[in-house]
Amino acid sequence: MANYSLKINGETFNVDVEEDTPLLWVLRDHLGLVGTKYSCGIAQCGACTVHLNGEATFSCTLPVSSVGSDEVTTIEGLSKEGDHPVQKAWNEVDVAQCGYCQAGQIMNAAALLKKNPSPSMQEIEDTMNKNLCRCGTYHKIREAVALAAKNK
């Protein structure tokens, strides 16, 4: 066990966990931030996507020991009132079916727009192809990312 001081959503959290514990499980089991989802555990589906210094990162395979002083943002911290342009677009387009993958989708889309405020459809697809949606809401995800870029 080791002590880690983590910067998450603008706050500092101290946790005492095994060093190989993935950030995903630190968030979910130790800090109660359950918006970040477990689905595959092997960086294949994107449900666990968080931001690490603004970059979209799979938290299910990221050991807590490698986080260091990097700034972590989770879906809970993307905006204070749930009004990030991507969240607003997701509501406007009414993207979700079951909703389980959507936090990861939103985090990936938000990171894309931060880096590239006006992505082409091709760039949207290249990025969002990392995230699985078993319900098949892909058309709406694509539409919502484009809307968020437009409304920014």
Partner 1 sequence: MADLIKTNRRDFLKIAGTAAGGLFIGFYWSGCDSPKMQVLSDDEVLAQAHNFNAFLSISPSGDVVIYSPNPELGQNIKTSFPMVVAEELDADWEKVRVFQANLDNDKFDRQLTGGSGAMPHSWERLRKAGATARHLLLVAAASQLEVDMDELATEKGEVIHKKSGKKIAYGDLVADASQLEAPEDVSLKHHKDFKIIGTPVKNVDNKAMFTGKPLFGLDFYREGMVNAMIQRPPFGMKIKSVDDSEAKKVPGVTDVVTFNNNVAIVGNTTWPLLKAKKLLKVTYEPDGTVESTEDHDRLFVELMDKGKAQVMRKDGNVDQAFSKAAKVVSAEYQCPFLSHSPMEPQNFFAHVKGDKVELVGPTQTPDRARMETAQLLDIPTENVSVEITRLGGGFGRRLRADFVVEAAELSKILNKPVKVTWSREDDMTGGAYRPAVRYKFQAALDEEGNMIGYKLRGVGINAGNTTRENNFPSGSVDNLLIESVNHSSPITTNAWRAPITNFLAYAEQSFIDEVALAVDKDPVKFRLELLDRAKNNPVGEIHYDVDRMKTVVETAAEKSNWGKDANVMQGFSVYFSHRSYVAQVANIEMENNQPVLKKITAVTDCGIVVNPTGANQQVRGGIVDGMGHAMFTNMTFKDGLPTQKNFDTYRLIRMKEVPEVDVHFIDNGIDPTGLGEPALPPTGGAIANAIYKATGKRLRSQPFIEQKEFSEFNLEIKRV
**Binding window for partner 1 (CB under 8 A); candidates: 51-59, 65-73, 89-97, 110-118:** 89-97
The helix (H) or strand (E) run that includes residue 38 is none
Give the strands of the sheet with 49-52, arranged side by side: 11-17, 2-8, 71-73, 49-52, 55-58
Do residues 142 and 128 make contact, with C-beta atoms less than 8 angstroms apart? yes
Region from 51-59, 65-73, 75-83, 111-119 binding partner 1, contact rule CB under 8 A: 75-83
Window contacting partner 1 (CB under 8 A); options: 51-59, 65-73, 111-119, 133-141: 133-141
Nearest approach in angstroms of CB 5 to partner 1 is: 19
C-alpha dihedral, 46 to 23 to 87 to 112, nearest 10°: -60
The reply on whether position 65 binds partner 1 by CB under 8 A is no
30 binds partner 1 (CB under 8 A): yes
Nearer Cβ to partner 1 (17/113): 17
Per CB under 8 A, the list member of 8, 47, 62, 67 interacting with partner 1 is: 47
CB 12 within 8 A of CB 73: no
Strand locations in 59-104 (E): 71-73
Q: Are 13 and 22 in contact (CB under 8 A)?
A: no
Summarize as ranges the residues that interact with partner 1 (CB under 8 A). Answer: 1, 17-18, 20-22, 25, 28-30, 32-42, 44-45, 47, 74-76, 78, 81-83, 87-88, 90-92, 94, 96-103, 106, 121, 125-126, 128-129, 131-142
